[in-house]
């Protein structure tokens, strides 16, 4: 009898290409889209990451959203840059309303999916390694852990009340593929 076993992409994951250093307050940054075609063919993606608090105590949280792309429709209704990390407009209402969303819910006015809150509100200035995850992408897109969009990316929203600091190493977003092997 054959046994199906989970096969993870690696212990530390792969870094998304995303520029978070100096991200302005109330701004959002999309990572470069990652293809799940050809060689990847993952059933799921496990996402985790961390940010740092800026020069003053944080008054709000940060959020991580998921963007799926099927080759025709971009998750925020317009054209997006697939080959590079880019700034995006998340929605036309208060970013702090993101605090009321839960994992897997659609962000109003977009087809972006809510992944996680990074709890920075109330943390002291220059606090490092404020993390989240891991959270699974397939479940967030309501695909039951069986598949993913053809391409995906994370979108990080800075709601901590100040710009992120300029040190690249203070921020990181990672993914780990989940496949299945049958033996």
pLDDT greater than 70 at residue 85: no
Q: In the structure encoding, which two tokens stand for residue 138, read together?
A: 């397939």
If one compares 150 and 2, the residue with the highest pLDDT of the two is: 150
Q: What is the pLDDT of residues 105-117, one digit of tens each?
A: 988 877 789 999 9
Run of H or E residues at 139: helix 137-140
Task: Report the pLDDT value the prediction gives residue 86, as an integer from 0 to 100.
Answer: 60
What are the residues whose beta carbons fall under 8 Å from the beta carbon of 67, sequence distance 6 or more?
A: 30, 33, 74, 75, 76, 80, 112, 113, 152, 153, 154, 155
pLDDT tier for residue 81 given thresholds of 50, 70 and 90: very low
pLDDT greater than 90 at residue 72: no
If one compares 124 and 147, the residue with the highest pLDDT of the two is: 124
What are the residues whose beta carbons fall under 8 Å from the beta carbon of 40, sequence distance 6 or more?
A: 34, 177
| Pair 13, 176: CB distance under 8 Å | yes
pTM score: 0.87
pLDDT greater than 70 at residue 91: no
- Among 8-17, 101-110, 113-122, which is the least confidently predicted range? 8-17
> Which SS3 state, helix, strand or coil, does residue 63 take?
strand
> For residue 81, what are the CA distances in angstroms to 30, 69, 94, 101, 121?
9, 11, 24, 26, 31
| Pair 173, 7: CB distance under 8 Å | no
Q: What is the DSSP letter of 99?
A: G
pLDDT greater than 80 at residue 58: yes
């Amino acid at each position: 009898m054959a046994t199906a076993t989970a096969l993870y992409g690696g212990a530390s994951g792969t870094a998304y290409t995303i520029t978070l250093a100096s991200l302005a307050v109330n701004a959002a940054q999309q990572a470069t889209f990652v293809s799940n075609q050809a060689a990847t063919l993952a059933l799921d993606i496990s996402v985790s990451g961390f940010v740092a608090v800026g020069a003053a105590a944080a008054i709000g949280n940060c959020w991580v959203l998921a963007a799926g792309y099927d080759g025709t429709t971009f998750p925020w209704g317009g054209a997006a840059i697939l080959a590079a990390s880019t700034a995006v407009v998340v929605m036309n209402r208060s970013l702090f309303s993101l605090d009321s969303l839960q994992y897997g819910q659609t962000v109003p006015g977009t087809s972006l999916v809510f992944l996680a809150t990074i709890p920075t509100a109330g943390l002291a200035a220059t606090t490092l390694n404020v993390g989240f995850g891991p959270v699974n992408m397939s479940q967030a897109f309501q695909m039951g852990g069986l598949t993913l969009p053809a391409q995906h990316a994370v979108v990080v929203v800075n709601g901590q009340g100040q710009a992120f600091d300029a040190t690249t190493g203070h921020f990181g977003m990672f993914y780990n593929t989940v496949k299945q092997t049958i033996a």
